[in-house]
Chain A
Amino acid sequence: MRRATLPAGVRRGPAVTVNVDGTPRQAHLGETVAAALMADGGPAVRVTRGGEPRGIYCGMGVCFECLVVVDGVPNTRACMTWIRDGMDIRHMDGLAAAGLTKENDHDA
């Protein structure tokens, strides 16, 4: 995975530092969280309650597969959220990110 060469005449936004799972990483203003994660780590963004890996799928806000925790807010669509300087991004791991356990998850 990498950032492609943009067509001549288009320039990427300024580089900023974000936190991904507690580690400082570089991203660019104007990228979605989905694009930044894809370029720096690949397409997998979360593990479902059932333990399945999921990634960026529709890229347009329809499928709700690319859910991540952004600045503490779980279930945030990575494809619909723009990178901000200093943003805290966490991959979602099943119920843990939402502060739920099997016992208090009424849907399970």
Chain B
Amino acid sequence: MSLPRSTTDVLVVGGGPAGLAAAAQAAAAGLMVTLVDERVTLGGQIYKRVGPGFAVEDPRAIGRDYAAGNHLIAAVDSPRIDVRLRTTALAIEGMTVILCADESHTVAVEAERIVLAPGAYDRPVAFPGWTLPGVLTAGGAQTLVKTQGVLPGERIVFAGSGPVALAFPAQLHHLGAGVVTVCEAGPPPGPSDVAAMLRAAAGNLSLLRDAIGYRAELLRARIPLRYGRIVVAAEGDGRIEAVVHAAVDREWRVIPGSEERVACDALCLGYGFLPSVELPRLAGCALDEDEDLGGAVVRLDEWMRTTVPNIHAAGDGTGVEGSLVAIDEGRLAALGVAMDLGALTREAAEERARPLRRRLRQRSAFRSALRRMHRVGPGIYELSTPDTMICRCEELTRARIDPAIAASTDPGVVKGLTRAGMGLCQGRNCERTIAALIARRHGLELASLPPTNPRLPARPVSLGAIADQEIEDHGFFTAAAEPRD
């Protein structure tokens, strides 16, 4: 198959914080960069822009994030950087990446080095009613509110864990939305947590200040913040009308008899994020397992090199640590690329890397300090009943998948037997839940289960887009249209 081809020094996949920072840093070292992103605008999820047609007269009004995004996006406006939007990476073969542009045609880009910065998505949590309209991920709800000015409901319940469980309800309230309850699965901060946070405060004061501000805003608005509680069911006819939440133990396992029902018209779920590891997996990069960083994480060295030669990776797509870490990782990856390609001396790269590494250590210390409170408990994967939809795309309930889980400890076999994970989302919403169900049924560690085989294409694509545009018609099609005698 003949594809239009081009070459570049560095191909950066993903235009979020890590990809933007990597592209700008590589170009600053004199390299030619191609930066691709599947969305219409740069910025990724966190720095998502408002829609075309909206006018931003004062970027400060939308908050610090928006201004920071503007800064990063402006830095890739360079003659050395070829920015391609609405462009999705479908496959990696050696150092050639197959891209689908505008959902209509495919092209190939061959690069000296590749930086993968695919980002992350909200951790899916299967519980009775989670497929009801009105149940949204925190990311989805945030996009609606922040970049579209549309509220997901009038009476919103937020359930989740981590800094976002404070930040997002406060932002929603600020925009005039009614937030009826916030459930944080983790415990409230105790004296030892506060002490740990203060010890790790160096370089992280703004994060601490934000958390305190959001907490105060919720208090002022009299929005109940319920620690140690998780949503166990969403109920409604055709759309959500109520949620049931319950107390959990330290492992996030439900304490029977503690259930409470609250009426609502929207439920936002923010239990952290999972890295989008489809592309690193397709490229053959070694992965490790770390539930706190989102499960499957990409194994990296000190220059963000993956285990596959000449392929680097950075940002939340390699393990979820937030946008500030992603930016520094993106820069570090680009410095490594520039050094390896001879565009920077080792000394120059090391010198530029030093402050980045120091900041990354500080962030890592802060994350450790929060670990007791926001560690994801295994109970999160134990909320389904036999009737609960596990694979949303193929419409498979747990009862339909259970026999396969009983028969095999291999997630790939369960997928093959049931079709769970073969739908349009390609398993991103059920694979980890199914792996956890297998682990529990057979008494195994979730981390010990092999992932299913990566499959092409990394994203669904129409046949027309991958068909060879210059294919020679041997008359098969005309033959069908005009039968011969």
Query: Could you list some 5 contacts between A and B, CB below 8 A?
Result: A7-B175, A13-B51, A52-B131, A56-B152, A82-B51
With a cutoff of 8 Å between Cβ atoms, the chain B residues found around residue A45 in the complex are 133
**Judging by beta carbons under 8 Å apart, are A35 and B62 in contact?**
no
**Judging by beta carbons under 8 Å apart, are B58 and A4 in contact?**
no
Encoded as 1 (CB less than 8 Å from any B CB) or 0, chain A from 24 to 48 comes to 0000111110110011001111001
Candidate in B56, B132, B144, B428 with the most chain A CB atoms within 10 angstroms: B144
With a cutoff of 8 Å between Cβ atoms, the chain A residues found around residue B154 in the complex are 1-2
Q: Any chain B CB within 8 A of the CB of A96?
A: no
With a cutoff of 8 Å between Cβ atoms, the chain A residues found around residue B162 in the complex are none
**Which partner residue on chain B sits nearest A5 by CB separation?**
B176
**Complex Cα–Cα for A48 and B127 (A):** 19
* Least CB distance, B129 to chain A, in whole angstroms: 11
Known: A11-B57, A56-B144, A63-B428. 11 other contacts (CB 8 A): A9-B61, A30-B50, A30-B53, A31-B150, A49-B395, A53-B132, A54-B392, A60-B121, A62-B429, A63-B392, A64-B424
With a cutoff of 8 Å between Cβ atoms, the chain B residues found around residue A39 in the complex are 150
- Give A contacts to B, CB under 8 Å: 1-14, 28-32, 34-35, 38-39, 42-45, 48-50, 52-65, 75, 79-80, 82
**Judging by beta carbons under 8 Å apart, are B53 and A29 in contact?**
yes
Q: Any chain A CB within 8 A of the CB of B143?
A: yes
Number of B residues whose C-beta is below 8 Å from A? 58
Q: Any chain A CB within 8 A of the CB of B412?
A: no
**Judging by beta carbons under 8 Å apart, are A59 and B137 in contact?**
yes
**Judging by beta carbons under 8 Å apart, are A10 and B56 in contact?**
yes
Encoded as 1 (CB less than 8 Å from any A CB) or 0, chain B from 53 to 73 comes to 111111111110000000000
**Judging by beta carbons under 8 Å apart, are B54 and A8 in contact?**
no
Q: Nearest 4 A-B pairs (CB), nearest first?
A: A59-B140, A13-B53, A55-B133, A9-B58
Contact of A64 among B58, B266, B395, B423 (CB under 8 A): B423
With a cutoff of 8 Å between Cβ atoms, the chain B residues found around residue A10 in the complex are 50, 54-58, 61-62, 149
**Judging by beta carbons under 8 Å apart, are A38 and B61 in contact?**
no
**Judging by beta carbons under 8 Å apart, are B150 and A13 in contact?**
no
**Complex Cα–Cα for A11 and B56 (A):** 6
* Least CB distance, B372 to chain A, in whole angstroms: 29
With a cutoff of 8 Å between Cβ atoms, the chain B residues found around residue A3 in the complex are 149-151
Contact of B429 among A11, A43, A63, A75 (CB under 8 A): A63
With a cutoff of 8 Å between Cβ atoms, the chain A residues found around residue B317 in the complex are none
Contact of B175 among A1, A5, A53, A61 (CB under 8 A): A5
With a cutoff of 8 Å between Cβ atoms, the chain B residues found around residue A63 in the complex are 392, 425, 428-429
Encoded as 1 (CB less than 8 Å from any A CB) or 0, chain B from 406 to 450 comes to 000000000000000001110011000000000000000000000
**Judging by beta carbons under 8 Å apart, are B460 and A55 in contact?**
no
**Which partner residue on chain B sits nearest A49 by CB separation?**
B395
Q: A4-B177, A7-B61, A55-B132 are in contact. Are A13 and B54 (CB under 8 A)?
A: yes
With a cutoff of 8 Å between Cβ atoms, the chain B residues found around residue A34 in the complex are 144
* Least CB distance, A16 to chain B, in whole angstroms: 9
With a cutoff of 8 Å between Cβ atoms, the chain B residues found around residue A43 in the complex are 133-134, 136, 152-153, 239, 266
Q: Any chain A CB within 8 A of the CB of B45?
A: yes
**Judging by beta carbons under 8 Å apart, are B57 and A38 in contact?**
no
Q: Any chain A CB within 8 A of the CB of B52?
A: yes
With a cutoff of 8 Å between Cβ atoms, the chain A residues found around residue B122 in the complex are 58
With a cutoff of 8 Å between Cβ atoms, the chain B residues found around residue A32 in the complex are 51, 148
**Which partner residue on chain A sits nearest B143 by CB separation?**
A59
* Least CB distance, A11 to chain B, in whole angstroms: 4
**Complex Cα–Cα for A45 and B142 (A):** 19
**Judging by beta carbons under 8 Å apart, are A58 and B239 in contact?**
no
**Which partner residue on chain B sits nearest A42 by CB separation?**
B239
* Least CB distance, B62 to chain A, in whole angstroms: 6
Q: Any chain A CB within 8 A of the CB of B328?
A: no
Encoded as 1 (CB less than 8 Å from any A CB) or 0, chain B from 111 to 139 comes to 00000000001100000000111111101
**Judging by beta carbons under 8 Å apart, are B140 and A57 in contact?**
yes
* Least CB distance, B19 to chain A, in whole angstroms: 15
**Complex Cα–Cα for A57 and B50 (A):** 19
**Which partner residue on chain B sits nearest A67 by CB separation?**
B424
**Judging by beta carbons under 8 Å apart, are A4 and B51 in contact?**
no
* Least CB distance, A94 to chain B, in whole angstroms: 11
**Judging by beta carbons under 8 Å apart, are B131 and A1 in contact?**
no
**Judging by beta carbons under 8 Å apart, are B140 and A60 in contact?**
yes
Q: Any chain A CB within 8 A of the CB of B191?
A: no
**Complex Cα–Cα for A75 and B423 (A):** 13
**Judging by beta carbons under 8 Å apart, are B53 and A56 in contact?**
no
Q: Any chain A CB within 8 A of the CB of B393?
A: yes
**Complex Cα–Cα for A8 and B53 (A):** 16
